[in-house]
C-alpha cells in the first residue's frame, strides 16, 4: 500500500506508514471496486475503413513531413491530423532582430548610451574632443611609465652601489603613498632581523612627488604592545637609518610619506641591507 504522504510502498495490511508514520487510507481501498477491463472489438486499420469506397480517389497528405495516402473525401489527414489541402510554401526565414517587442517600445531602458550623432556638436567639434581625450590619456600613461622607470633605475643604482660597498641586500619593498593616508593606515613591512648583524634601512621616492619620508622600526614586547626601537633623524624624500637589533626576531618597519601639493599618490621603495 503506497503512502499518500511520502510515497513509500508499505505492506497491504499496514495501517501506518513505516517511513513517515502517516495513517494509510485503507478505507478508500476497501471501498474501491475492482477495476474491470472493457474489451472492444477490433475495428480494423484506418486504411481499411477509409478505402471501402473505391470510387473516391486516393491523395497523399500535402505536408512534406507526412505524405500519408488517404481518401480525397476526408478533410483531415488520419496520420498527422492536419487539414487536407495545398500547403502554402514559405521560402524565407524571419529576422528576429527586426521584430520589436511591445514592452520594449513602451518602457525604454533605465540607462542607455546616446549616440554622438544625436548631439548638437558638429563633426569638427567631435573630432577635436576625441583628439583631446586621446592626448590627455597618452600624457597620463607616459607620465606613469616614466615614474615607474625612474624608480626602477634609482633602485638598481642603489643596489649596485650597495654591492660595491660590501653590503648585502636582504629585502626590497615597493608601495605607494596616498593623499588620504593617516598614521593608522600607512605602510607596514615585516622583516626578520638578527641581533648579530647591523642593518641599513633606506626609503626613497621621487623628489617631485614626495617632500618627506618618516621611517620607524617597531617590535612587540611580552605584553603584545608595539614599542619603537629606532627611527630616522634626517628629513627628505630619500632617508636612511642604521639599525642594530637588540633581539633576533620579526620587526615591523613603518613608513609614512608627505606628498607635495597637487600630488595625490606617489611610488616609493624600501631597501633593507645587511652591513
Which residues of the chain are under the pLDDT cut of 50?
32-33, 43-44, 48-53, 90, 99, 101-102, 104-105, 118, 140-141
What is the tens place of the pLDDT at every residue in 205-215? 999 899 999 99
Assigned C-alpha cell, 253:
618597519
**Residue 51's pLDDT is what?**
46
CATH number of the domain at 259, please: 2.60.120.380
d(C-alpha 64, C-alpha 87), whole Å: 9
In a domain, 59, yes or no: no
Pair 241, 147: CB distance under 8 Å: no
**Residue 66's pLDDT is what?**
83
In a domain, 188, yes or no: yes
How many domains, in total, are found in the chain? Answer: 1
Assigned C-alpha cell, 179:
593623499
In a domain, 49, yes or no: no
- A 10 A CB-CB count for 87 gives 11
Please give the model's pTM, rounded to 2 decimal places. 0.46
Domain region containing 237: 168-274
In a domain, 233, yes or no: yes
d(C-alpha 217, C-alpha 166), whole Å: 23
Pair 213, 260: CB distance under 8 Å: no
Amino acid at each position: 500500500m503506497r503512502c499518500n504522504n511520502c510515497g513509500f510502498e508499505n505492506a497491504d495490511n499496514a495501517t501506518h506508514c513505516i517511513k513517515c508514520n502517516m495513517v494509510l487510507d485503507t478505507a478508500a481501498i476497501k471501498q474501491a471496486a475492482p477495476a474491470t477491463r472493457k474489451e472492444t472489438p477490433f475495428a480494423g486499420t484506418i486504411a481499411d475503413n477509409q478505402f471501402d469506397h473505391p470510387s473516391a480517389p486516393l491523395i497523399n497528405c500535402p505536408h512534406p513531413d507526412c505524405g500519408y495516402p488517404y481518401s480525397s473525401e476526408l478533410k483531415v489527414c488520419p496520420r498527422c491530423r492536419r487539414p487536407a489541402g495545398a500547403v502554402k510554401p514559405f521560402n524565407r526565414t524571419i529576422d528576429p532582430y527586426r521584430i520589436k517587442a511591445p514592452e520594449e517600445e513602451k518602457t525604454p531602458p533605465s540607462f542607455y548610451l546616446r549616440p554622438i550623432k544625436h548631439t548638437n556638436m558638429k563633426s569638427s567639434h567631435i573630432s577635436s574632443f576625441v583628439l583631446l581625450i586621446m592626448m590627455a590619456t597618452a600624457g597620463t600613461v607616459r607620465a606613469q611609465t616614466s615614474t615607474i622607470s625612474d624608480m626602477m633605475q634609482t633602485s638598481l643604482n642603489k643596489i649596485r652601489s650597495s654591492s660595491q660597498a660590501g653590503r648585502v641586500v636582504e629585502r626590497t619593498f615597493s608601495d605607494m603613498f596616498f593623499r588620504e593616508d593617516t598614521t593608522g593606515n600607512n605602510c607596514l613591512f615585516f622583516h626578520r632581523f638578527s641581533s648579530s648583524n647591523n642593518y641599513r634601512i633606506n626609503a626613497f621616492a621621487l623628489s617631485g612627488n614626495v617632500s618627506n619620508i618618516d621611517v620607524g622600526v617597531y617590535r612587540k614586547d611580552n605584553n603584545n604592545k608595539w614599542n619603537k626601537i629606532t627611527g630616522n633623524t634626517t628629513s627628505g624624500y630619500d632617508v636612511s637609518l642604521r639599525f642594530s637589533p637588540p633581539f633576533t626576531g620579526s620587526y615591523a618597519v613603518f613608513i609614512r610619506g608627505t606628498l607635495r601639493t597637487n600630488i595625490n599618490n606617489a611610488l616609493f621603495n624600501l631597501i633593507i641591507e645587511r652591513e
